[in-house]
Amino acid sequence: IFDRFLDNRLHSAVQWQTVISRDPGGNEQRSRFWVRWKDYRDENKKAVAGILAKTLVKFSAPEDMRQIGFLMVVNDDRSNDQFIWTPSSNRVRRVRLSGVGIMGTDYTFDDIGWKSIEDADYQRLPDETVDGVATYVLEVTMKPFVDSEYTTMRTWIEREHYVPVRTIYRDANGVELREMVAEVDTIQNFEGAWVATRSTMYNLKEKTSTSVWVEALDPDVALADQAFSTFQLSLRH
C-alpha cells in the first residue's frame, strides 16, 4: 500500500502555492512561493549518481521574504544537502534544517524530503473512513538510519488514488508533533498523479497551523540539472 502511495507522484513538476500560517491566536500571515522538483531515480527506482531527488523553493511574497530560496538534494547513502540564499546576505549557505519550519511555517524539510519504501517498516491497521472516503490505515516506523525528527507516523491513505488524507507524526518518545489533514474534495489528477491541492499542517505542540493551496501545477516538466544549481538558487526571479 505504501509503495503504491510512493508511486503516485510525478517525475518532475513546477507548482505555485499560497501558504497561510496561523499563530496560536488565529492571526494569519500569507506567503507565496513556487517549487520545482525532480525525481532522479532510474526505471528500477535506484538512485542515479547517488541522488534520489532535488527540490528548489523560491518565495515571491510577502516583500520581506521575496527572493529567499532553498535547495534540497536528497541523497541515497548519506544525509541530505540543504542550501539557503537570501538577498540580504547575497550568498548561498549550506545549512542543517532537519525539524526546522520553512520560513516560519509548520512544514519542515522532513516533510518535503524524499522517502523510499526501504526507509521504514509498515503495519496495516483496520481500515477507516475519513470525510466519507474509505482509507487504508498504516503505522509507519522509520528505520534508525533515516535522519528525521519523526520516529513513527500513522497515515490514512485514500483507497482509490493512494493519496494521504491524514497523517500524525510522532517523535522517539511517542509524542504527537504534527498532524497533516488534506481536503478530500480537492484531490485532482495531474497526468496520472493524484494530488490534494489543499492541505493543512498542525503543529500540535505550538498550537499553530499552516495551510497550503496549490494554485497551479505543471506536471512532468523537462528540468535540466542546472535548474537545481546553487547559481539558480541565487537568481532573482
pLDDT of 9-19, one tens digit each?
Answer: 888 999 999 99
Evaluate whether 221 touches 12 at the Cβ level (below 8 Å).
yes
The pLDDT value recorded for residue 17 is 92
Distance CA(223)–CA(53), nearest Å, equals 12
Distance CA(102)–CA(84), nearest Å, equals 11
Mean pLDDT, residues 112-129: 81
**Per-residue pLDDT tens digits for 130-152:** 999 999 999 999 888 777 788 99
User: Coil, helix or strand for 65?
Assistant: helix
Sequence-distant (6+) residues with CB within 8 A of 172 are: 151
**Per-residue pLDDT tens digits for 86-103:** 988 988 999 876 555 565
The amino acid occupying position 139 is E
Cell 507522484 belongs to residue: 9
